[in-house]
Structure 1
Amino acid sequence: MRIIPFLLLLLCSGCALFGDYRHQYYDAGTLGKVKLRVPRGFSDKEYTTDSMGHRSLVYRYPYNQSLFITTDTTLSAYIDTAVHNARPHLQGGRFYKGVLPQLQLWREVYSQGLKYGYRNANLEEEPLFDSSLNFIRVK
């Protein structure tokens, strides 16, 4: 009889109730739907479309951390290509990664016709954000 709760807990450990991520979808317009693995704990999510028709989605977290995805693939102004070298990404394309003052980390990926990344991640949360970017797929 004591083994039943243990088995139930073991079976449920793989479900989303105990995971660090939530599965979300992003409508990238002509690219189709994009499956996201978003770290739990976001306080807000905001959809925007700019005057050029680029769609963006930003997830906001405590301590000014954010995770974003957009169809605007222009290089961000704060990326100095003389300092930050592009590296190949798992899904094809390239990515840049850097450190802001007070050990706030950022990463931007340019792949699959999208730009996605995170900003102001602290050292403890950075592995969650990094892992979520590695699982973004255009359907």
Structure 2
Amino acid sequence: MLFVYYTLESQNNYYIIQEYCKDRDLGIYLKKQQYLTEVGAIRILTDILNGFIELLQQGIIHRDLKPANILVHQNTFKLGDFSFAKCKSNFQRDIMESVVGTPLYMAPQILMRETYTSKCDIWQSDAYSEELHRLRTLYPNYLILY
């Protein structure tokens, strides 16, 4: 996960001063790849899942896990962009209803405007895991309307 140096709050906005990742994000990284070995994909997923575990331990649901929100610095992959994140006290019982995130990576429940739980992050992690395997989005030809 990205290191946060400082947070600020104004009357209308929140500001986060965080670690700089010079190698951009996983989406750009994947576009540059012509081939990704299984070992390479596993290493990337390990970094991401370690960040995901840390979120769960802190009681945070990300709700917008996608390659553009996984930042890269010196071949280390870190979760970033917590603009849709939510703190939850009980992951199993806490129900959410707001439609947030990136449609291409949203869990079906969110797209269908149904209630959902923290398991939406699991769906999103599966979607970008498949993207690591294929080096393209899970549903490249779908127009998602919501």
Higher strand fraction (1 or 2): 1
TM above 0.5, yes or no, is no
The TM-score, its normalising length taken from structure 2, stands at 0.27
Larger radius of gyration: 1
The TM-score, its normalising length taken from structure 1, stands at 0.28
Higher helix fraction (1 or 2): 2
